[in-house]
Amino acid sequence: MNSSSSPIADSILNLKNELAPFNAKLVAVSKTKPVEMILEAIKAGQVDFGENYVQELDVKQKQISAPIQWHFIGHLQTNKVKIIAPYVDLIHGVENVKALEVISRQAFALEREIAVLLQIHIAKEETKFGFDVEEVGKVVSDLFENPLPAVKLCGFMGMATFTNDEQVIRKEFRSLRKLFESVKQGFESRGIAGFDTLSMGMTSDYKIALEEGSTMVRIGSAIFGSR
């Protein structure tokens, strides 16, 4: 079997074709899947991988020497930041200011800068984590006044309500894009580059997310199979 006939490679190539017109980046979510599958995806040209669990990411990171980009997309406990701080490339799910401060402290000690996205609570579910839409403006303007030395705020991440109602999902993604645009203007008016990432959309809703302006989709089961 050659690599072009692998289902993982096929899914990645198909998704990349689908994402190209939207200029969106693909994060392949490999949580719970073995390293062999990640290596297969790397062979197909995939560079960005997302993991949800600190311990699992740490084990996989040590086993893979290829120069890939690791995205942490799960719920990050502050006492575990230091485990992934040496190598993580983008943390999607920053849920509160305390986490931002811990990430900054750890990154500073390592003399590196860690790119982060604030997770914004857009879904109806109470259980979804993140900042409320109403509080984000204040959080960002506080950061403009008192910048954290070693974190780079690159954008937002959001998860839509788990529902079959496409209109609900679309409305939530649209509201996040609107918030993203207004905060982006704040960065631009201050001449700060790099606030350019809107991480929204997974296997079940990435098509809607792309239509609503996602710049980065996090896709697991459509690539690696169901979990």
Ligand X SMILES: *Cc1c(COP(=O)(O)O)cnc(C)c1O
**Footprint on this chain of ligand X (rule: CB under 6 A):** 29, 31, 52, 73-74, 202-204, 218-222
Q: How far is the CB of 75 from ligand X (least distance, A)?
A: 9
Q: How far is the CB of 203 from ligand X (least distance, A)?
A: 3
Q: How far is the CB of 219 from ligand X (least distance, A)?
A: 5
CB distance 59 to 30 below 8 Å: no
Q: How far is the CB of 17 from ligand X (least distance, A)?
A: 18
Q: What are phi and psi of 51, to 5 degrees?
A: -130, 150
Nearer to ligand X, 78 or 203 (CB): 203
Please choose, from the candidates 96, 139, 89, the residue with its C-alpha nearest in 3D space to the C-alpha of residue 115: 89
> What phi-psi label fits residue 213: left (phi over 0), alpha (psi between -120 and 50 degrees) or beta?
left
CB distance 152 to 115 below 8 Å: yes
Q: How far is the CB of 78 from ligand X (least distance, A)?
A: 18
Nearer to ligand X, 85 or 202 (CB): 202
Nearer to ligand X, 123 or 151 (CB): 123
CB distance 61 to 70 below 8 Å: yes
Q: How far is CA 111 from CA 20, 150, 226, in A?
A: 35, 8, 39
Q: Which residue is nearest to ligand X (CB)?
A: 220
> What phi-psi label fits residue 115: left (phi over 0), alpha (psi between -120 and 50 degrees) or beta?
beta
Nearer to ligand X, 31 or 170 (CB): 31
Q: How far is the CB of 188 from ligand X (least distance, A)?
A: 28
Nearer to ligand X, 99 or 150 (CB): 99
Q: How far is the CB of 68 from ligand X (least distance, A)?
A: 17
Nearer to ligand X, 74 or 155 (CB): 74
Q: What are phi and psi of 182, to 5 degrees?
A: -70, -40
Nearer to ligand X, 107 or 202 (CB): 202
Please choose, from the candidates 28, 32, 50, 51, the residue with its C-alpha nearest in 3D space to the C-alpha of residue 40: 28
User: What is the C-alpha to C-alpha distance for residues 17 and 14, in angstroms, rounded to an integer?
Assistant: 5
Q: What are phi and psi of 17, to 5 degrees?
A: -65, -40
